[in-house]
């Protein structure tokens, strides 16, 4: 996804030996001879010197304006700064940074209690102070005030599961750091943030835009099975039909999808949910095959329903969990990011997303965050959940990893000339 703006540092050094009338190494006669007018060689030397000087000055001026303009003339980097032709922003590492976290979860009213680890008793704060740094380029810092101005009159929509809701909450808190009156930011229906609510929308009154979340964990339609099905089939996922609320996602300016955490045997087969295509049950279909078919249905919907001249579409990949133990029921939160990726990276899901998006006929950006999260076993909720009896090595504390996802979203938009 990541193209890059080149930012090369070039230095031009011009050195020459000054020659003067009183130089002890050059006689006066010799000096006068060198300056004889009409000498072809002398003219070439002078021309060469002048051309070299002009080129050196042009290089200095070019580099100055190139760097200045690449930052929008105001210190706000309008694209990735890079030393490489292509920079994969998802290949990198987490580095400590004094400017993080970017917001205080205790004063942001849109962080649900279950994700606010500090409020739930976490004492260490080192997990808050890490910034994602790609290997070959720099991601621009999130400038809330300037992004708020660019979002005037627009609509941002998140669609997916609880991980999508976490990113939604993160973005609202990031943006609120640039708002002068916090009371001007409110949930449009007066709803509290809960795990099962299907729609949440936060309006920024001073800038006239909304940030919305639609709960659609599979993206496709879930409903009752055909009447002729076996008794163990309590419901089905209709892999060839989009979720019934799909019309509400249209006409957005930024549209961010995710799906993956619910595509497991525990959340499907163990509760009697199987797959359906048309009127036929697909009882033996593997989960990965069903996920691919659902993604192809989603891709067709994007192609036919979304005006990508207006709407920027993103799909975020599966986020790794860090459950451990023989039954994958132990959750050990570390103190620092790990040096090597760990946890369940579910690479087959990421591969399917990349393959399906690679065939789509309209622009879609894949946020390949899977490996980014694989280093962050320190950033999970762990025992600092609400209620505290819930152990969680899947979701992330806020502030935390989802903030980096949002930084990459807006860095990508700016790179692509978003206005």
Could you list the active site residues?
162, 392, 395
Q: Is the preceding peptide bond at 177 cis, omega within 30 degrees of 0?
A: no
DSSP strands (E only) in 247-318: 254-258, 273-277, 280-282, 312-316
How far apart are alpha carbons 156 and 174 in whole angstroms?
14
Nearest to 90 by CA among 128, 137, 129: 137
How far apart are alpha carbons 64 and 419 in whole angstroms?
24
Query: Left, alpha or beta for 226 (phi > 0: left; psi -120 to 50: alpha)?
Result: beta
Contacts of 370 (CB under 8 A, 6+ apart): 317, 318, 319, 320, 345, 346, 347, 350
- Upper half-sphere CA count for residue 245 (Cβ side, 13 Å): 15
Q: State both tokens at 128.
A: 């808050």
Contacts of 190 (CB under 8 A, 6+ apart): none
Contacts of 314 (CB under 8 A, 6+ apart): 254, 255, 256, 257, 364, 365, 366, 367, 409, 412
Contacts of 366 (CB under 8 A, 6+ apart): 1, 314, 315, 316, 317, 353, 354, 357
Order across the sheet with 5-6: list the strands.
5-6, 81-82, 137-138
Residue with structure tokens 């910034």? 131
Contacts of 358 (CB under 8 A, 6+ apart): none
How far apart are alpha carbons 363 and 180 in whole angstroms?
35
CA angle 258, 263, 340 (to 5 degrees): 70
């Amino acid at each position: 996804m990541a193209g890059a703006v080149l930012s090369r540092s070039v230095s031009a050094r011009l050195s020459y030996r000054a020659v003067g009338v009183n130089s002890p190494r050059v006689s006066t006669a010799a000096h006068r001879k060198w300056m004889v007018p009409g000498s072809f060689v002398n003219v070439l030397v002078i021309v060469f010197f002048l051309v070299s000087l002009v080129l050196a000055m042009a290089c200095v001026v070019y580099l100055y304006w190139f760097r200045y303009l690449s930052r929008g003339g105001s210190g706000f980097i309008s694209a990735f700064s890079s030393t490489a032709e292509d920079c994969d922003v998802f290949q990198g590492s987490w580095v400590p940074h004094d400017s993080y976290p970017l917001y205080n979860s205790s004063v942001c009213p849109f962080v649900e209690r279950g994700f606010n680890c500090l409020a739930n008793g976490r004492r260490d704060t080192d997990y808050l102070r890490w910034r994602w740094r790609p290997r070959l380029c720099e991601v621009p810092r999130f400038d809330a005030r300037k992004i708020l101005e660019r979002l005037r009159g627009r609509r941002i929509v998140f669609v997916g599961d609880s991980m999508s809701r976490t990113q939604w909450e993160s973005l609202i808190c990031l943006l609120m750091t640039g708002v002068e009156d916090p009371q001007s930011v409110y949930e449009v229906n007066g709803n509290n943030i809960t795990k099962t609510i299907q729609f949440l929308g936060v309006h920024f009154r001073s800038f006239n835009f909304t940030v919305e979340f639609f709960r659609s964990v599979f993206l496709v339609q879930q409903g009752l099975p055909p009447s002729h099905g076996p008794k163990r089939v309590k419901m089905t996922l209709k892999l060839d039909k989009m979720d019934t609320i799909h019309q509400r996602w249209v006409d957005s300016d930024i549209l961010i999808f995710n799906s993956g955490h619910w595509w497991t045997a525990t959340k499907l087969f163990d509760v009697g949910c199987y797959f359906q295509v048309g009127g036929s049950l697909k009882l033996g279909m593997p989960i990965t095959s069903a996920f691919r078919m659902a993604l192809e249905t989603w891709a067709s919907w994007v192609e036919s329903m979304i005006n990508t001249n207006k709407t920027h579409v993103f799909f975020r990949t599966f986020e790794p969990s860090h459950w451990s133990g023989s039954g994958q029921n132990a959750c050990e939160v570390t103190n620092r990011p790990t040096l090597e990726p760990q946890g369940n990276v579910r690479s087959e899901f990421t591969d399917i997303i990349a393959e399906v998006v690679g065939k789509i006929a309209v622009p879609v950006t894949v946020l390949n965050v899977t490996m980014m999260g694989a280093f962050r076993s320190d950033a999970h909720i762990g025992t600092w959940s609400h209620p505290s009896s819930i152990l969680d090595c899947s979701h992330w504390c806020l502030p935390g990893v989802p903030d980096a996802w949002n930084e990459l979203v807006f860095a990508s938009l700016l790179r692509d000339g978003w206005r």
